[in-house]
Structure formats: C-alpha cells, structure tokens
Structure 1
Amino acid sequence: MVVAGALFGAGVVEPPNALAASSDVYLVVVSGDKAVDIVASHFESQDVEVVAELTRAVDMVSAVLTQLITTETVQTISSSRSDDNWGLDRIDQKTGTLDQRFHYLDTAGGAGVDVYVVDTGLRATHSEFVGRVGTGYFVPNVTDPETGEVYNLPSPEDDCGHGTHVAGIAAGTKYGVAKRATVIPVKIFPGGSAAICDRGTSVTAFTQGIDWILANRSRARPAVANLSLGLSSESAALNTAIQNLAAVMPVVVAAGNDGNLSTTAGYISAGTDSTRITRKSPACTADKLGISGVLTVAATGGLAGDDNAPTFDGFDKEARYSNHGPCVDIFAPGTDIKSAWPVADNVDQRNPDVFPNNYSDNGTLKRSGTSMASPFVAGAAAILLQQFPTETPGGLTARILANATRDAVTLVPRAGVGAASPNLLLYVCGLDCMPSTPTAPKNVVLTRGARTEINVSWEAPESDGGAAITGYTATATPAAGPGVTCASVAPTLSCKLTGLAAGTSYSVTVTATNATGTGTTSTAKSLTPGAAPASPGTPAGATGNSEVRVTWTAPADDGGLAITKYTVTSTPEGKTCSPVGAELVCTVTGLSPGTAYTFAVTATNDAGSATSLTSATVVPVLPWEYVPAFVAVTPANRRVDLEWSEARVLGAAPAGYFTGYEVKDAKGAVVCVTTGLKCSIGQLTNASKASFTVAATTLGDKSQVAASNEVLVGGVRQLGNVMPRKASALLSKIATTNSKGKVTWRALSGGCRIVGKVLTAPSKGTSCRLRVSVAKAGAFPAQTLTVVIGLR
C-alpha cells in the first residue's frame, strides 16, 4: 500500500541572530558560494549595504547593518527522491519547477509552537528531534473492538514507525517543515509486532488522546494537532472531541487512502451521497464542513502501476490513492516522502517484528499516503503560529488556504464521482509572504469635539501586512510647533486629539501598527479646532419701506474660530438677511407693511452657531404719496373748525393699514383723532390765538405733519382781499365775524371809501387799509385788514 520517497540532506545556511539596529560592520559566515550570493542578495533587498564578498579563503559576507535583519534559511534539497524529502522543495515555491531549495524565514521554523502528533508514538531520541520533544502521553491500554483483546502500552515510544515518520515531516530538523517546533507525541496505537500495528486502535483510545491534549495543553503556547489516521465509520463521541480540539488549535487530518481510478471509493463528502467509507471521521463527518479549524489534506505525487510495483509519476499530480471530493481542503506532497524512522536503514524497516533489536536514532524511510501529506500542512501551521501566536484556529486555517498555490495540481480522472477536490496546493511562505507593515487606514473623518479637541475616526487598512493590527495612532501637526497624537488599541477605529490650540489649523494623519512595525500614513485631512461662538448682542430694528434695517453687536467670544456668517431671521415669516463680510448690519426685505416683527441674529463659525435674544417689535411701512394739508381753518365762537386734504401711500396697502388722522394743538397735545378729513376743536377761549398740525397715521407710521395758520378764536375772518379799481363790494364779502356785537368799519388809507355797507375801491393806488371793530367783544381787539387794488 505504501511506497517510499526520498530527500537529500545538505548544508544549512545559518543566518545571524537578530541584531539591534547598528552601523557597525559584521562578518556573516555562510556555507557555500551559492549561499553567499543568496545572503548578499537578501541584505541588499533589505537596504543593508554589502561591503565585500569573500569567497576564496572563507565564505562570508561583510555587511553594514543599519536595521534589524530578517533573512531566509535555505536548505539544499537533492534532485533525487531517494536522498531527500522532495516535498520540502515543492511547498516553498509557487512554480512546479523544483529549485533544490527549501526556503523559510529564519524568524520562523515554528519556534515556541507545540505540534501534537496523535499517532503510534515517537522515537524521542532520534536525531531529527534533538532538544525539541515535549512531555507526551500514551493511553495505558487499548481494547481491540473486534476481538476484545487488551493491549498494554508501556511508553510513548514508537514501536510501529508511523508516528516517527509523520513527526519527522512536520517538525524534523532535516526532513521536516517546522524545524524549530516542539513535538509532543500522543500515542493511541498499540504496537510491538506487525500484527498488532496492522490492527489499529479504538475510538476510546482516540478520544482519550484528544481529551488529554485538551486537559494538558499549555495555554501560553500556540499549538497544532496532526491526525494522520482515520476510521472506518463515524463516531459521535470522536466528532465532539475533534470539535472541542478545533476550538482551541488548528487540527490537520489525513484525507484517507481509499481512492482509485475505477470506482467511487475514496470520494469523501458530508452530503447525502456519502457512504460508510466516505464518511470517515475525522477527515469528513457530518459536521466537518462547519468546523473552520480543521483542514483535510489530500496527497500529490502521483502513483502509477499496481500496488505491488507502483511508480512515481509526477510531483504535482494528484495521488491516485488519495481520498478526494468536497471534504478535501488542500493538497500536499504525499508520495515517496523520506523522513525519520525508528530503526536502522539496513534492516527490513517496514516490519515491526524486527524493531526491538534494531532501534536507531538516525534511521530514515520513504513512505506514501495522505498520512505523509497531512504533517506538511501541520508543519506549515506551526510556522504561521510562530508569526501569529494569537490567531484563532479558523483564522490560521484560512491563512493556509489563502497562501496556497491555486490550480497547480493535475487532478486525475475518477469514475462516477461528484465534485472534485479543491485545487489548492500547500505553500510555505518565505520572504515573499513575510509579514510587512499595514497599508494606510482609509476614509479618515475629522470632527470637532470641545474647544481644543478633534475627534478622529477611520476605516481599517486594505491590508494588515500579514500580521494582525495591534493599534492605531493619529497625529495632528500644525504649521508651526509640536504635534499632538492619540492612539487606540485594535480593533477600535477612533481616538480623540486633545490639548490642541483653538483657531490653529492641524493636518491629521493616521497610521496602523502590527508586529512588524508602523505602516504608511493615511491621506492628510485638515481641521481647525474650536467651539461655537457666544450669542451676538440683542439686535435693534429700524423700519423702512416693507423692510427693516437690523443692527447688532458681535459675540463676546468667537469660540476660537472666525465668524463666517451672521444671519438675521424675522418672526413671523422667517425672512432673513446676512451682511457682507464682518459687517454688523443688514436689511430684511419683503416684509408685510403693518405687521409687527421681532428679529434674532445667529452667529456661525466652523464649529457651530449661537443665536441672540430677540429684538423689540418693529413694524415696516409704505412710503407716502400725498400727505395731508389744511384747506380751511375757521375760527368760531370758542372753537376752530379744521379741514384738510386726503393723504395716500404708494403701493397696495393691506386691509386696515391706514388708521386715520391725528390733530395736535400748538402745545403738541392731541386734540382730534379721526378717519375723516374734518375736525372741530372746541372749548377754546375767544380772542385767543390758535394753530394746529395734522398728520395721517398707519399701523406703523405717521406722515409728515401739516401746520395751519394761526387764528384768533371767535374774531374777524377776512373773506376777500382783492378788488378791481373803482369796484364796489358789500363789506360782508370782505370780512365776517361770529361776534354778536355791532361791527364798525373805517377806511384808514389807500383811498377806499365806505358808504353804508358798501366798500368802493379807489381809481388808483395798489392797496388800502381797513379797520374793523366789534362792539361788546371784550378783550377782542380791533383788526386791520388789507385789500389789494388791482386793474380792472
């Protein structure tokens, strides 16, 4: 069933230990001219100056080290499968052409990681594991589930060989992937003879081994478990145990070796088309597809011919014996794999019957099977766990699948099967997928907090550089002076910059940090910290034509930021105005005449706004087209009768806008309010002087006042003052009086003649003067009248 493969051992380039950043010159000693080239090229790629290469007398590279160095270890692999583990040569490169090298980071190798090998035990003293074997476990006894025979297990030593071979692939110094990992054997198979080794073990023993790992694992160290084994049918108890194990560490399992080209044997699926043989636990169970921490590994390496004389036929060809189908997660080399073996090379190594007298710490053997493919993946997991020790089992298996080489495997045609296995081939990273610093955080958003604060938020970078982001730092830099920073612990994507200078512009960037270092900065965003202003002073309004001119004073505190805008808003109607620049005045237009308004002013800066108290009530008006004018001022007994012209405003006045007329006496007292055009002012004293003003009134305005002539209350009122020459007129047409006393006329000058009640104008001259007196008028004085004489 199993044929051997090979791998050739060669010198290992030992890189220098990690050194602190320095400008000293170091001699780096390596083995072989090619190794000199490799190390020198790497130094140069890391910006380390290579001063000289000395390859004749001694192999070394002299380099100026100005930073910490991370190098690759390069193990030479023979092109002959008989001498070396060809699988190492394949899994460290993406292309199918082998380069006889196994590259891995000198900082990797699985140091500090435990690899649990649940198998037939381990030859702990073998040279492949010197100094790297932890305390393991062996079940005390195994009861054969078919015969009932009890096998006692005296120690964790490997007396079948399978466990040592598997461990050597996962973590052997020469033949293994994770060359610095610690191997912890968990022996669940009895041995000691070929017959016993071929019998297998029980589900009880299997479960006991898993339970021991769960109970005794180190919580302080990352770990991976390899299960290069399988069952002929499902076990609910074992499924539960595997699920529990996969919750705390990655679990790598062999897909199984039941595949062939002519039947559906070996097709593994958790679907309803599964048969007894296809539902092997733990490689493929009803629950397996839901366990993210489990990887099922199929084998490459081909294998032509029959089982008695198989022939290796291709590194990247799917092995015909490998189980296949949807439950497979990944391929790894599995045919002709050379690894550690617990007995010497010069005996019948495959026969456990000869083991007792032939144990060796240097034995090797080639074997084939998915049992050999699985530990390649377990070793790769150990390398990744050293780099990402806190990664979850599901996250770790996802990384392995993400790193895998796609479409590298030539899948062999199978008869009558369903879905093919995923075409992913294991890839162990060298420098090409060494963790780097993260890319820049995305979509940085700045908002103001308190007066001297800026709140910063962002999105995670596109790439974490291959290592989990541990934190973020936001830096605010002014044009001059020191910057300010704030930090957050991942996965928090925000922080608050404090202690900033209000009114100073800051350029803000964000960086992400992982175990490798701090990544590139985000695109800079700028913001000036500050607070909203205080309220402006209470505004005052001056009415105008359907408008109000509003003035105010600036806020006592601008919040550290320039006021960018003032806005005046009316109540009611919400009409607004804003001044130009920093002016503290603007005019609200489009108001309704006669409506009472109040006004408030809002001051705004980049941080916010504040609003003043409201103004006193202001009423806008319409302009006057006509103002009133007196057309008659008639004194009478103890009164004066007034009459004036109508006033009018421009534009369409709203209903109720015009309120009437207001008459005041000479002392400014209101003596008449009316909507008409006449008013009689009574209770006056005869012979007293009187004058009046009149103004039109609206809801918010008064017109210009009109003033009357001064009159004597109750006295003579002249009716006519112009006569043609030689003309005659009744005296009653010249003047009249409201007095009841006798009226006496006398011509004083100018040539006018009075005969009876008739006045005759002279034939020449320009005017004449008349005197009129009233008897019994008391203090009422005589009045002198002037009559203008004109041409006929």
Structure 2
Amino acid sequence: MEPFHPRRVRCLFGALLAAGAVSVATSVEARDEVLAYIVVVNGDQAVDVVADHLEARDVEINMELKGAVDLVVANFDADGLADIRRRPGVRWVEPDSIVKVATEQSIAISQSTDNWGLDRIDQISPILDRKFRYAADGFGVNIYVLDTGIRRSHSQFTGRVATGHYVSPIVMGPSGPTHTLSSTDDDCGHGTHVSGVAAGTTYGVAKRSTIVPVKIFPGGSQAICDGGTVVSAFVAGMQWVIADHDPNEPAVVNLSLGTAIQSDALDAQVRAVVADGIAVVAAAGNSGTLTTTNGYVDFATTQTSLSPACTSKRTPQTAGILTVGATGGVSSGVFTREDDEATYSNHGPCVDIFAPGTNIRSAWPVDGLTVEQAKNPDSFVGKYADTGSYNKSGTSMAAPFVAGAIAMLLQSTPTATPAEVTSQVLATATPNAVTLIARGAKPSPNLLLYTCASNCPPSAPRNVTVTRASRTEIDVTWEAPESSSGLAITSYTATATVTGGTSVTCVSAASTCRLSGLVAGTTYAITVAATNSAGSGASSAAKTLSAGAPPLAPGTPTTTAGNGEVEVSWTAPSDNGGLAITTYTVTSTPESRTCSTTGEEFSCVVTGLSVGTKYTFSVSATNDAGTTASLASAQVAPKLPWEYEPVFSSVTPGNTRVDLRWTEARVLGVAPAGYFTGYVVKDATGAVVCTTTALKCRVSKLKNASRASYTVEATTLADSSEAATSSTVLVGGLRQTANAMRRGTSALLVEIATTNSKGKVTWRALSGGCRVVGRTVVAPATGKSCKLRLSVAKSGAFPAQTLSVVVQIL
C-alpha cells in the first residue's frame, strides 16, 4: 500500500480505487465559486504530475490517493477546472459530491420490542409466527459496514467487532468544514443501528459474524451527522476494505448510504470491491413518494441513475451487488402491513430485492432518552450506553437484512463468489410477496428476502464443467450443492442460453447431462440449478462454450524444399466442425519441427531442418472444439543451393559407343558428409544410361549410324541440379582421334580422324601448310597449326559426313 504524499494531506487510509469507470463523468456547470472536484488520472505517477501542476497554480489539494485507479481531490474555480480537464493523463473529473446515510423516517409506534423483520424474512407466509429460525449464524464471515461507526462495546456485538478503520480528515469542500476523525466510535447512531440489523445478537440476522466498522461519516452533532460525507471519503473507505480483505475469509459490504448523483469514481470503487471477491449490498434510497417520479431509480438516465443504488446495472454491468428496497406500510402513523412497499423507498429497475425497512428495532449507542432525544445526536453526550435500542425506518434498515443473509450463505459456502451468493439470495427470495405501489413507472422486481432456515431450495451446484460432445451437443457435469437443508436433491437442470435467443435444457438425477439440439458455432451461457422438495435453487455461475466439433483433416500437404527449410502448403478441411479454425500447425517427422498460421493462411515454412535429411510433414487444424491432423506428405529433404551445375565439355562418338565428359557441379555452403551423391546421365528418351561420381561416362552398345544426345544432372540427398543437354552426335561417325604432330613429320590420316562408315573418304588441307600425300599427312616445318577437312560419302545407313580438324604443330 503506497502512503499518501506528506506534502499535502496526512490521511490515515491507503491506496484507492480499482480501474473501472470508462466514461467521462457528467460535469456540473462551471461557476466562479470554488468547489471540490475528484480528478481521476491514468496511473500513480500521474497523481504526482497532476499534484505538482496544481501546486504550481496555487490550487488547494485536499487529498491524493494512489491505487489501481488514482486520483487527486482539489478545490477549483472555473478557470482551474477548465485547465485540469485539458491536462494529459486526466481520465475524468467529477464533483466530490455529498454522500449521506440513507435518510430514515422515525415512526413513533412500536411493532415489536424485537426486530419484526427477522420474523418476516425466515418464512414465506405473511402471517408472522413471532419466531426467527436460522440454520446458520454467519460465523467466520466479515461484514464491512461503511457508515457512521459503531458502539463497539454494545451488548449486541460483544467480542465480534474488528478494529476497523476511519477516514480522516474529511474535507467537505473549499467552503465547508474539515472533519478530523480519531476513532470508529459512532456519534450519530446510524452505523450502530445498521450493524445491529446485520449481526446483532438479538436484533441481527447473522448473529455470530464479525463486524468490521469503516467510519466514513463525521459526527458529534445533529448538524454534522445530517451533513453527510463526500465521495472521496467513501472511495477511500472502500479501498481500505480491499486492502484489509483476506481472500481466504468470506465477506460482504453493507452500504446504507447514497448520493443524489451518479459518480463514476464511486461506481468504480464498488466494482473493485466485487472484483476482490466481496459481495456488496446497497440501500435503494428513501426519496420515494406516491408520485410516479420521485424515488424512481433507473440506470438509463443520469437523472435517475444514482450511486451506488444503480452501480450494478450500468455498463459494464456487475454481478455480485444487490440494491435493496424497503417494505412496511404506515398509514396515519399506524403500522399497517409488513409486506406493503414502503412509500419512501426508491423504486424501479435498479432495485433487486425488498427487505423489511419500516420501524426496525436495533442497537443504539445511547439509552435513557426519550424517542425525540434519542434520535438527536446533540443529546448523546453523557448518555452513551451498551444496551440502548431504537426503532428506525428506511432502506438503510432494509439493506443490512440482506447483508446478514449473505453472511449466513457464506458461512455454509465460504468459497462462493459474489455473483453466486447474490444469485442465491434472489433465487430463494419469495416472489410476488410485496404489495407494490402503483407508481406508473416501471416497477421494482417483486422479490422479498427469504433466509430459508429449513425446507430450503438447494444452493448452486459446484464445480460445473462443460465439454463438447458433438457438433450440436455439450456435456455438462457438476458436483452437488453445499447446502440443501437436509433435503434430497430430486433433479438437476442444465440450461444453455443464447443472449437474446432461446434456451436449451437437459434434466438429470445424476451429476451429468447432455445438452442437445444446439447450433454449431453459437456461444452458450450454461448454468445448472438443483431442485429438492422445497423448489429449485440458485443457478451456478455461467460457463460459456460454443457448440461444435473438431474440424475434419486438412488436405494432404505438398512441399517445396529450401536451404535448411521446407515450405508446406495444404487445403482447408471440407468441414470446420461449425467453428472457425483458429490455427494450422505443421509438424515434421523426424525432429518435430513446427510452423503455424491462422485459420485464413494455408502455407508456412518449417525452418531449422537438417540439410539432406528426409522429412515428412503433417498439418493439424484446430478450432475451439479440438484438433485434427492431416495425412503425411511425401518425403522431402531440405537442400543447399547450387553454385555450379554440370555442363558437357565433350561428346565423342565411337564404334557403338559415345564418350561423355562434363564439368564439376558444386553447392553453396557446407554440405554434410554424404550429401553429394553423384551424376545421372540420361539419353534422349529419359532413360538413365549412367550413374557415377566421376566427371565422365561411356555409353556403349549403341547402334552405329544412330544419332544420340544426352543430359547430365548432379544429384544430392535433397535434389538434383538443372540438367545439361549435350549436342547430338552420330554413333560411329566421324571423330578426331589425334590433334598434334611434330614439325616435318608425317602421320597416317586414319590416325588423325576416323569413322565406321564405309563411304569414300576424301581429305583436303585447308590452311597452315599441312600436305595430304596419299594416305598420310605431312606437317610443315614451320607454323603452329593446320586445318584439314575430311569428307565421307554416304554409305548404307551412314549419311555423308564432313569433319574439320585442327592439328597442332609441335
């Protein structure tokens, strides 16, 4: 926890806010007067930057808070407000508005010396039996009460009040007072009363839970108590709750307070508490009358969307928060019907549930005073006592009934999430028990709190898992609820729901069932609820899953070898299983080298392969339902590029043969041992006539007078070079057999050139001084070379032939 900056405000609370609100808060009209505003910034460093900027402009800073959402509270005039809204890093600015305890109505009548609300919430029947039955007492659960403090020594709380926390100082704006608190002692009475309803030994619901007081309201006089507190103090108190909360200890927060505005900062902090694993209960507020508009709370407009009453309904919507309206009718000062909607209760779609709120008896920090004196904090001095009680009315009194009920649930299901316990409260509530006032606007849900001590519907099934069974089916499994009031579970119902669409269900007596008839590719929210003889219980937290099956196999891959790599290509499966293919993965055998693509790409390159090693490759297609692999490719080996490829250097025909020579081929890079395999010579028909590692080859058993041509290509373990093509030669045809003579010597012509043709042979000296004499050739005494032409007439299959030869003179 980061401390507050010592330059400005010495606060006794810690870091603030989890990131939540995303919209710019509605601003009040800028005026010349100086008012306090909350400046929410991006990050804790921005707190220092903004604070330094304000100090440089002589703006009075009331508070700096650092946490997941960070802020500065300061006093601004119109120019300063315009300036700060333009500063980089400022997320939004909103007034540090007044927060008040939900105003109550004191009824000068006595319904009971005890808390009649306890009698009502433990039964479905409206006929009170003057008993409160409970199977749990909240032991091991913390109830955080953000309020005016507590009379911790009161007999209703003996040994069950934690140290808690108080926010100080509380700056009530630039023109208001600054309140310095020194303890969690309650000097207004409201917090003690609320705590007594939630957890008092006699008046409370969860009688063994631990109360954690968080004092965010100043007190000590009627005027101060009526003045309330500010949003920044509320936010600081809630942040302390997060810091204090042990995730291994179940907890609930009670907010018997409200504002006359929508506060993004307040909403963000409430959501942060829920995200920390703590359920939140908020009073609906007491602005209702018999008119159609007063007290109407709705998240749709800023005029009716109050904080925290409407926090859970605004975008982003947050489960784990319940807003509580009050019941208890009064006519002409006479308590009439317990189940009438209280005329003072706020109403509308922001309300989740009702609980008794009129003329509720609970603990009070003073005793020995008249009713009128007891409600006035100016009379408290010298009258503090540990046995006092008082009757109060308001949604402030209704909310702690629900907080206590959640504490009872958390005792039996300590690992339940805020969403699960609030869902359980709503699932077990008594429907249509409240006589709602016909106000003309959209009414509140007609649900009355029911703590259900015996013969209760079961709690939500645990550890729900969902798995795809086929293209249109999902299997759901779960564990039995932690609580079923000792009654046997008769059935479970799994429900798959599409937002704005229809639902599909399956019912089972076992701990599994299969949802059928689903639409492949559609995402479902799946819940499970258990039923016993008392009814259907709360649904489990939703698990989301898209119906569908694994895809069929991709097409058999094709390959293109490269230098230490292979490019692999494939075609998409003929059926994707109803779900988009998210990934294709190529895997080599051996070595399991891989490459992957998204579902819209159908080739990738596998690198890091061993040159010359033969590989096969398979391609797997993956969607949300699973993975299917293709058939393996043909073998392929990565290769090195060619630096030199073979070229024929000579093609010499002979008697029924042709002698071939070519240049050496070479690859770039360092080839592994054995990588180069040799040369392959093919004839004109493509038949292999020679395989060798040498640079020459003799092709024999040819037919004289036939024409022959050849190709040669170098080979490696990975590939072959481009083929070189020879000239076409005549087998047995004219060929030079010698190419040099000494000066002045003679040689037989047949020693210079020959043929297997029987045609007439004619020699002719063309240049260089050589002389043809009979069957010989005589070299000149000088010169370097001479040129001769040999002609052979057509004979049999041999055509007429001509050959020019050059003889070097040595």
TM-score (norm 1): 0.45
TM-score after normalising by structure 2 = 0.44
